[in-house]
Structure 1
Amino acid sequence: MSSHQSNLASTLHGLDGRSYGNLKQIRGRYVFGPVTVFIDRIQADPFASPSKVRVRVDRTDAQFPPELTTDRADRIAASDYLLRAGNAVLERLKQRTIILGRPGQEILERTNILIDDKGFEARLLVNLPARGRRVLGHQAADILTRDLPEFAERLFLFEQWSDADAHTPTARRLADHVQLHRDQLELRRHLGETGLIGFVGNGAILPRSSGDSDLPMDSRTAITFTSPPELEHTVELSSGRRLTGMGIPRGVTVIVGGGYHGKSTILRALERGVYPHIAGDGREWVISDPTATSIRAEDGRAVTGDDISAFINNLPSGTDTRSFSTTNASGSTSQAANLVEAIEAGARTLLIDEDTSATNFMIRDERMRALIPAEREPITPFVDRVRPLLTRQGVSTVLVAGGSSAFFEVADHVIALDAYFPRVATEQAHELVGITAEELSRAESPHTAEENVEPTTSINATGIDTAGVDAAETHAPDFSAPPRIPTAKALRPASKTKSARAKGSDRIQFGKSFIDLIAVAQLVDTQQASGVAEALEYLAEIFDGRTALTAALAEIDAMLDDQGIDGLTGHRDHPGHLTRPRTQEIAAALNRYRELSLSR
């Protein structure tokens, strides 16, 4: 037993039965052969948040293959594998007081496991044992001087890995995990280069095991995905892997079908397709535009200074919707705000489900248009804006529709699902509404002419002015908006005395306020919500009354690319368990903060 190990063990044995506060004296650094244990923070009492402890092994002792742990993307994948393997090691040790954190189905950058040039580190939370408020020193000594070093050796000493032992990590599984991540990133780059916003691989299992689970449906009962021939796309990856599946081109894509036939399931898969996935998830080869953002109605949310005038204008109250604020948005107003905020945060693809949308925001049928004149209706429905969003802003849309054909006339592609099997129905849908491909390519919106120019004698069955397209183009909306600039104290309320923290995956406590994220569908877990909370603290340092919101988001994203997720916390020794959020989710939380204030 080393002197460090002996000293820590004897100290803990000596603390047995004493008041819990005495544990603070064990903070420090301890060496156990190749393993170094850092006790960074001791919980204040047995009922407080767990103690923060790290275990580290130098790279020379770990002897990991450098080709799997040198590139940054490879380190993210290897860390993810070690996180999953580490939980298996803890289970084998029957150790429940040590918490490494459990990931979901995604491969993401997390703080739980760090791989750097010097070595390998696990950031752990440890519930040190007590009876009442008295230290159980003997048990604590076992945890910190026996179990922790053994855990680190089994996880980080590559020579201890055994392909013959199903309970330990293996070199083959690590290599496969890293290669899968490489291939998914390469496929994502390929999509961007070939004009695709999404890819769904043949053989994918899209349904989940239940409505409240992210695990795949049993492969013995699930219907696997098969691309319709017209949209089939094949790519050869540099690894030699050959993938075939459905490629979704840029543009407006409408997914239709009967209830329970898989429309929303495929949209949910595309939502999560912004992240890489582990083998066996079923969605390994569902890859989306990394900026794709889910948009829905969200009654009651706060809105601060959004320009929603492209969708809502000429309110009877006279309110200026070029800089619109409310503490209690309606369904249509909230969906308009969600959409313009997503574009502000860099979304190039919108994912929308009719079931979670405000009907009056999405469509207005011909009878309603006849009954309520356009000049008396402040809402311009999304069906009239979806093509200008594409042609003027380069923003594509994937829309699930089950109850209305209104989007057929503006859709580049219509995909019909029948018992989870997709077929291309674009030509049939266009015939039903009486539009040709040529008319679609020339017109930005079926009702733009009706609303903005004098009617002509060349209105087709869909309402598209085929003779006055140039005039319609001239009057189409401009979606660019002046930058929103938060005040210097936008994220510094006087009542705030503690750092922001996640309360589950759908709520953040910020000072005395709570930010509701339940409608932010692409947040994957509590750790990612915690990452968003830390990002808000980081943004508070950027906002100075002159920096635009978009510039601040770009700054934090660049920092994360350069420094990694640890940069959010200023590279604290033990940052806690965080997962890197996208810019879109950081912006979503900021925009839902009810006390947000703008300079302009």
Structure 2
Amino acid sequence: MLNHNELYARLLDLDGGGYKAYKGIRGSYQFPNFVLIIDRVQGDPFAAPSSMRVRVPHAVAQFSSQLYGSPSREIALRDYLTRQFGSVARTKSSHRGTGKSGKIAIASLGQTVLARNSVLIDGEGVEARFVVGLPARGRRILGRQAMEMLCEDIPEIVEESLRYPALNADEIQQHVEGVEDSEALRQSLVERKLVAFIADGAILPRRSGADDRPLEDCAIAFCSPPSLRVELERPNGGKISGMGIPEGITLILGGGYHGKSTLLRAIARGVYNHAWGDGREAVVTDPSTVKIRAEDGRSIAGTNITPFINHLPQNRSTQRFSTENASGSTSQAANIMEALEAGASVLLVDEDTAATNFTIRDRRMQELISKDKEPITPFIDKVRQLYRDCGVSTILVMGGSGDYFEVADRVIAMENYQPREVTAEAKEIARKYATGRLSEGGEEFGEITPRVPLPESVDPSRGRHSVKVKARDRDEVFFGTQEIDLAAVEQIVDAGQLRAIAAALVYAKGKYMDGKRTIPEILDRAIADIEEEGFDVLSDFPQGNFAQFRRFELAAALNRLRSLRVKF
């Protein structure tokens, strides 16, 4: 292994040379307190920045093992260090030439705390993975500026962000304990037969649709109705009270702008832990919860949607339903069935993003259009069967139809962002104003049919590249010659998740899609490999830009691949 002085000299020697000469600095360099590893060097100043790592031994980093002694604590500490590294790196980065010259950056984090590969902790020490835009003017190396970045700026970043003595000990403890408490709350849902918990004092409103940080000036703290208030125990924070939503069918209603959808969004995000100060640290949800919506125009490949839709015109099959351009109702039916195929145990539905004809068919419409002429069985007639036959709970936001009063186990009214349980009143209204509506759901929910993807239909190649995959923001994957639109998959909350999902699709195709394994089996094996071996199993060289995703979002990406074909 070379030392930092040799790297210093090499970079000065490269000054003024052609950009490709940077390739010669790949390798490992011993600095006084850490090792710098240069894994990949960019081909020109406009290309993706170079990938690097620093490894800091425990004797230098000095983090107590109690800060990372459990999986949740380790994830939280790694998250904290990523945030600190990024903050310090931003102060050191400056434009130093052409293209991305001068950039020093690590994974950008939002409000969620996810397992990532940006910072790792093992028996030897702490490793941070980041990118550097090696500087150039035109395509000529700026060797002195590169020396300043690698031999001066990076040591300062390491000193200020990866060593315990330089950090705020109280902040670290708070962050680690907060995430551990959130994970403990989520685990306690099962024993209490709850699907979600929203703590008293939680701040649910966000600053805007594009800013996930908590609303500060006029946010109203959440307060549970007494009838639904439960008390849970946290290992660090002690007892905490809040609204527990039991298993079954829960209806959330209220006037416009009173917080129905805000509450549902918080519940949807409760499958993830949140950073301290987010306001939703103690909002937790069953990890197998999936948000469902209509998605006009998506493709569907051989999904059995017969529980909701059958006898389509022209004798089109709905047992193996395929289309390149789904309607609102067929897309929502497919989204539910695909979520169930992947193992969802809780569904979230908001009428604002649901297909009306899929959600409800009232008595007057039943009278005018008879059931034998209507292929859609509305969700209202299946939601009870879904819970009874499959054990799948549902939380619905509904402001326009009281017909759901009859099938709901509980009804929560939102008034000025505060919940009030109105189950008794809703049931009384349902008895008083009987609609005469006829149930159209039959006796059973119906069959959930696992599908087998045909491997040749999942092709990441493009031109001379056997694998050409790229993720854009949080909503689109370029997969070979295909574009996968994930804008409607609302529980993808981080760009790192989408990058990992794209890589996992390639991995799963190469290793487990053999024309015999079903989608659930493929999901099981791919997720197990990542949990056992880490994100590095997905890439050819160490990267730091992957974040934890769930099996449901990986399945969603596969299901929206327009070339996908399946068999049974």
> Taking structure 2 as the reference length, what is the TM-score of the superposition?
0.95
Q: What's the secondary structure of 1:417's corresponding residue? A: strand
Residue 518 (structure 2) aligned to one of 542, 548, 557: 548
Relative to 1, partners in 2 of residues 1:197 and 1:3: Cα closer, same or farther, differing over 3 Å?
Answer: closer
Distance 1:244 1:493 in 2: 49
Deviation for aligned residue 1:481: 2.9
Which runs of structure 2 are paired with 1:393-542 in the superposition (5 Å)?
A: 393-434=390-431, 462-463=436-437, 475-492=442-459, 495=462, 497=465, 498-541=467-510, 542=512
Q: After superposition, what is the alpha-carbon deviation per residue over 1:40-91, rounded to whole angstroms, capped at 9, x for unaligned?
A: 1111000001000111112233221011123232211110010111122224
Larger CA deviation: 95-104 vs 264-273: 95-104
Distance 1:462 1:130 in 2: 76
Deviation for aligned residue 1:477: 2.9
What is the aligned partner in structure 2 of residue 187 from structure 1? 185
User: Is the CA contact (8 Å cut-off) linking 1:393 and 1:479 kept in structure 2?
Assistant: no
Deviation for aligned residue 1:461: 5.1
Letter aligned with residue 196 of structure 2? G
User: Is the CA contact (8 Å cut-off) linking 2:293 and 2:332 kept in structure 1?
Assistant: yes
Select the structure that is richer in strand.
2
Q: What's the secondary structure of 2:338's corresponding residue? A: helix
Distance 2:408 2:350 in 1: 15
Deviation for aligned residue 1:574: 1.8
Q: What's the secondary structure of 2:148's corresponding residue? A: helix
User: Is the CA contact (8 Å cut-off) linking 1:350 and 1:396 kept in structure 2?
Assistant: yes
Residue 123 (structure 1) aligned to one of 125, 129, 141: 129
Deviation for aligned residue 1:338: 0.4
Which runs of structure 2 are paired with 1:179-578 in the superposition (5 Å)?
A: 179-218=177-216, 220-434=217-431, 462-463=436-437, 475-492=442-459, 495=462, 497=465, 498-541=467-510, 542-569=512-539, 572-578=540-546
What is the aligned partner in structure 1 of residue 97 from structure 2? none
What is the aligned partner in structure 2 of residue 590 from structure 1? 558
Deviation for aligned residue 1:129: 1.0
Q: After superposition, what is the alpha-carbon deviation per residue over 1:234-271, rounded to whole angstroms, capped at 9, x for unaligned?
A: 11223352110000000111111111110000011011
Q: After superposition, what is the alpha-carbon deviation per residue over 1:550-593, rounded to whole angstroms, capped at 9, x for unaligned?
A: 10001122223322333333xx5422401111101000000000
**Structure 2: unaligned runs, 5 residues or longer:** 95-101
User: Is the CA contact (8 Å cut-off) linking 2:119 and 2:544 kept in structure 1?
Assistant: no
What is the aligned partner in structure 2 of residue 83 from structure 1? 82
Deviation for aligned residue 1:20: 0.6
Q: What's the secondary structure of 1:322's corresponding residue? A: coil
Relative to 1, partners in 2 of residues 1:194 and 1:464: Cα closer, same or farther, differing over 3 Å?
Answer: farther
Distance 1:573 1:70 in 2: 28
Relative to 1, partners in 2 of residues 1:208 and 1:240: Cα closer, same or farther, differing over 3 Å?
Answer: closer
What is the aligned partner in structure 1 of residue 115 from structure 2? 109
Q: After superposition, what is the alpha-carbon deviation per residue over 1:151-196, rounded to whole angstroms, capped at 9, x for unaligned?
A: 122222323x2xxxxxxx2222212211111111110011111110
CA RMSD of aligned residues (A): 1.8
Deviation for aligned residue 1:5: 1.6
> Taking structure 1 as the reference length, what is the TM-score of the superposition?
0.90
Answering whether residue 119 of structure 2 is matched by residue 141 of structure 1, we say no
**Structure 1: unaligned runs, 5 residues or longer:** 162-168, 437-459, 466-471
What is the aligned partner in structure 2 of residue 62 from structure 1? 61
Q: After superposition, what is the alpha-carbon deviation per residue over 1:430-468, rounded to whole angstroms, capped at 9, x for unaligned?
A: 1111189xxxxxxxxxxxxxxxxxxxxxxx755478xxx
Deviation for aligned residue 1:494: 5.8
User: Is the CA contact (8 Å cut-off) linking 1:434 and 1:461 kept in structure 2?
Assistant: no
User: Is the CA contact (8 Å cut-off) linking 2:460 and 2:469 kept in structure 1?
Assistant: no
Deviation for aligned residue 1:391: 0.4
Distance 2:486 2:455 in 1: 24
User: Is the CA contact (8 Å cut-off) linking 2:57 and 2:126 kept in structure 1?
Assistant: yes
Deviation for aligned residue 1:531: 0.9
User: Is the CA contact (8 Å cut-off) linking 2:300 and 2:334 kept in structure 1?
Assistant: yes
Q: What's the secondary structure of 1:422's corresponding residue? A: strand
Letter aligned with residue 330 of structure 1? S
Distance 1:238 1:131 in 2: 55
Q: What's the secondary structure of 2:322's corresponding residue? A: strand
Distance 2:446 2:72 in 1: 35
What is the aligned partner in structure 2 of residue 450 from structure 1? none
User: Is the CA contact (8 Å cut-off) linking 1:77 and 1:178 kept in structure 2?
Assistant: yes
Residue 157 (structure 1) aligned to one of 150, 159, 163: 163
Q: What's the secondary structure of 1:209's corresponding residue? A: strand
Deviation for aligned residue 1:355: 0.6
User: Is the CA contact (8 Å cut-off) linking 2:292 and 2:335 kept in structure 1?
Assistant: yes
Relative to 1, partners in 2 of residues 1:287 and 1:493: Cα closer, same or farther, differing over 3 Å?
Answer: closer
Larger CA deviation: 51-60 vs 515-524: 51-60
Q: After superposition, what is the alpha-carbon deviation per residue over 1:115-149, rounded to whole angstroms, capped at 9, x for unaligned?
A: 11221111011111111111111000100111112
User: Is the CA contact (8 Å cut-off) linking 2:337 and 2:448 kept in structure 1?
Assistant: no
Distance 2:186 2:34 in 1: 38
Distance 1:488 1:430 in 2: 51
Letter aligned with residue 420 of structure 1? Y
User: Is the CA contact (8 Å cut-off) linking 1:435 and 1:462 kept in structure 2?
Assistant: no
User: Is the CA contact (8 Å cut-off) linking 2:460 and 2:506 kept in structure 1?
Assistant: no
Q: What's the secondary structure of 1:215's corresponding residue? A: strand
Larger CA deviation: 587-596 vs 229-238: 229-238
Q: After superposition, what is the alpha-carbon deviation per residue over 1:342-371, rounded to whole angstroms, capped at 9, x for unaligned?
A: 111111111110010100010001000011
Percent identical across equivalent pairs?
45
What is the aligned partner in structure 1 of residue 28 from structure 2? 29
User: Is the CA contact (8 Å cut-off) linking 1:114 and 1:122 kept in structure 2?
Assistant: yes
User: Is the CA contact (8 Å cut-off) linking 1:234 and 1:245 kept in structure 2?
Assistant: yes
